Chains A and B, each alone.
Chain A
């Protein structure tokens, strides 16, 4: 996953200019541009939090995208060494995502978290998909073809939508801001007034060499369509970027059955 590319994707989708966001979080636009291009080091925890606040997405989500063990966790482990032992226990049992989700559910039930907004759960990706909207093993020569295939599947789920118009919509957004978030994943997205959110997933049998932010060839396309602009949409985009960071493309690569793809995805995102 490429934090900079993800930040740019979210920023553009939130309708903010580089200068705007830079001004609001109190950095120079040159710095922010360097971060988005991955030339500068990822922003510090405080800056990420400020960016998350301006974009109106949970800070934890961005932190996850950045793959940062937050200093908050480090500090807590230092203060309460017993917690460290617990972590070790978890590590020794090699709990999978699904099992961790159960631990998490137990924690939620036992010690509910009372905190201000900004911490509501991130909507998962899997429910937006269905086997009909998963295309496996696409090989094509051009990114546009992948978008067209995704649009074809999406159109089937959106009554009254024309695949070509959807493909056009995806392409337009792509022109506005490249949707590659690194680790071989791209998140093209389009807006269809009033539509319920829906997604299509395309795995590529032959990775596409595009100029990705981190130089990795494209292996997975997650196309999102949304009927509303705003927080939920941004959170979905960021969530996919986070999944990309957790190796989504690697895990799905080579799977031949759409159902298998969905199961893997559910497992991967069980712990959000």
Chain B
């Protein structure tokens, strides 16, 4: 290269970079990615515009003899760029994205590939290719070039629109990553096929390629991981490390070039195996990005532009063909991914957005096309058509995305966590409301029985301080703020610790305890609100005051524990007549059977006037709640008695640990705000009692699916309206 040539090259660089940056400003203004501008700049400097307007100027600027240098520079730039693409490819994106991404990415390759290959085979091969190009190579190449998605452009569009963190963005980027890897593998195969003179050679190339991939994954990757760890731990990215990586990169590119699957594949592969944890990948990207993207990549675009000759499309038929190619490309890519996305359960709007995003071909398509042109698989005319196709599909992404997925829509999806998966089948949550220390131990025992051996329950203990008391407590125990609340919760926590339960405690000042219990239960999605009871000062009833309010307001089951020294839950009695509260009581008892192996006796009381039929009905209901396999530890006792309350009391004296009883007039348990008389069953039963209340129109807990269907899960008024729409 003589000095004159160097001057020539420098001028070329200046012009290329300046023009593409200038057009880039315009592209930004249009909301387009920079790639568009760079491609357009390349075309403008080539024979399509500059060569057409001022052939002399183009001859002077890009003389034919300077092309080899430009080409070399462009190739080096591409190697660096493909390395960066590989660097950006986080293997985490490929793994564990679930069903949706896999389906979408596969169909977004298969459909356009099939369309491209079919078009190539049936139509384009005859009209736009020469017979000396092997049929199979041409068809495969058309398929690949249709199924490319530009990972970097996509990433840039997603970042610019702030979609990277959204579900949509995650799906799109994961699909693009899969597409990228797949497309490059197919392409490597196609290239090897074209370059190999016969089938034996092709086989050999494939073998070498597989050996190379194995070498990279088994030997180079662990080495790089060690290098990465060193960079992360100690010296940071020194120039020595950069030198090592660059040498390895060039070596990798050279290897693949010698094998016959093109240097780009090696660069990409090397970037992909660099560990993304630690700082190595990020630091390398930062160092190389500017040189590769700002300086060298525009050269590549200019070079492709110089080879794009719009003049070749001089007939209406040619333009028509070009149009059909564009339509086919969009149809395959957009249609394939959008339909697949819709089938995986996205809304049409989101599915469409995914389709549009996947349709971005950007510069990856250009790289593929240049490869095809170099290999002689496609003619300059077809090259030009495909370049236009790449430009159009990239260009339409941003406006269409805006149209279909407006910023407002996006903001909603992004912040609203709409794609909230059905709430995880969370474990059983119990909110223990302790107003007084003495209720604690009994509640701990009961929670232990409810959560079972494997501690399958989330337990929260709530203690609400009244404003006056907290002030007093503050005066006395100012030194230890926790003591004020710890006082009431301590017995419960102490007992729970002994039983090996983990309880999360929570206490604050509240002037409306009932409402705060409800709110907390709601926020915790509590399945059961367990209230402790202790002898109140004035009122004698258990079910008055705060308990009453809580029962009125909480959307789930509420149980009040009347503790008479509950230390184990072995024998449980459930009086039963069949109200919704009774059913909830049975549900709780069922849980006790399952989790703690308790023995449950169901006492079914029928009226003496009733003849026979009631017994059957009661048995049926009990059996419905206790499937046969659990039935072993459940005894059903049927008693005829004029007063169910009496019958229950009599039975309760037979040495039970716990009586679980639903609210209801039958048991003398009515839910009311004020009452002077203590409920009789509470007063006279020797065992501990659990009084169960279940709101209307809510489903009984621990129910079987059959019941859920028969009862109908009526929507609760507390369901969020906006949050999950």
**Chain A interfacial positions (CB closer than 8 Å to B):** 15-17, 19-20, 28-30, 135-142, 145, 148-149, 151-153, 155-156, 160-169, 172-173, 176, 190-195, 202, 205-206, 229, 254, 256-257
Contact = CB atoms under 8 A, between A and B. Distances in A.
Nearest to A228: B411
Interface of B: 159-160, 162, 164-165, 286, 411-412, 414-417, 420, 460, 465, 467, 470-471, 474, 481-482, 484-486, 504-510, 515-516, 519-520, 522-525, 718-724
Nearest to B468: A256
B720 A152 contact: no
Nearest to A207: B481
Contact of A256 (B414, B467, B722): B467
Given A20-B160, A141-B506, A148-B524, 14 more contacts: A15-B414, A16-B162, A17-B159, A17-B162, A139-B506, A148-B523, A155-B522, A160-B720, A161-B720, A161-B722, A169-B417, A254-B474, A256-B471, A256-B474
26 contacts: A16-B162, A17-B164, A20-B159, A29-B286, A136-B470, A139-B485, A139-B505, A140-B505, A140-B507, A145-B504, A148-B520, A149-B506, A153-B519, A155-B523, A156-B519, A161-B723, A162-B522, A162-B720, A163-B522, A164-B524, A165-B720, A166-B720, A192-B722, A205-B507, A256-B470, A256-B509
A17 B525 CA distance: 34
A220 B639 CA distance: 58
A164 B159 contact: no
A163 B520 CA distance: 8
Nearest to A161: B720
Contacts of B414: 15
A93 to B, nearest CB: 33
A28 to B, nearest CB: 7
A229 B415 contact: yes
B205 to A, nearest CB: 39
Given A16-B162, A152-B523, A153-B519, A229 B411 contact: yes
Contacts of B159: 17, 19-20
A163 B519 contact: yes
A256 B467 CA distance: 7
Contacts of A152: 516, 519-520, 522-523
A156 B516 CA distance: 10
A118 B632 CA distance: 74
A149 B520 contact: yes
B522 A30 contact: no
A77 B471 CA distance: 47
A138 B508 contact: yes
Nearest to B411: A229
Contacts of B482: 139, 205-206
With a 10 A CB-CB cut-off, give which of B159, B465, B474, B722 has the most chain A CB atoms: B722
Contacts of A148: 520, 523-524
Contact of A191 (B416, B523, B525, B718): B416
Q: Which 7 A-B pairs have the closest CB atoms?
A: A152-B519, A15-B162, A191-B415, A148-B523, A162-B720, A160-B721, A138-B508
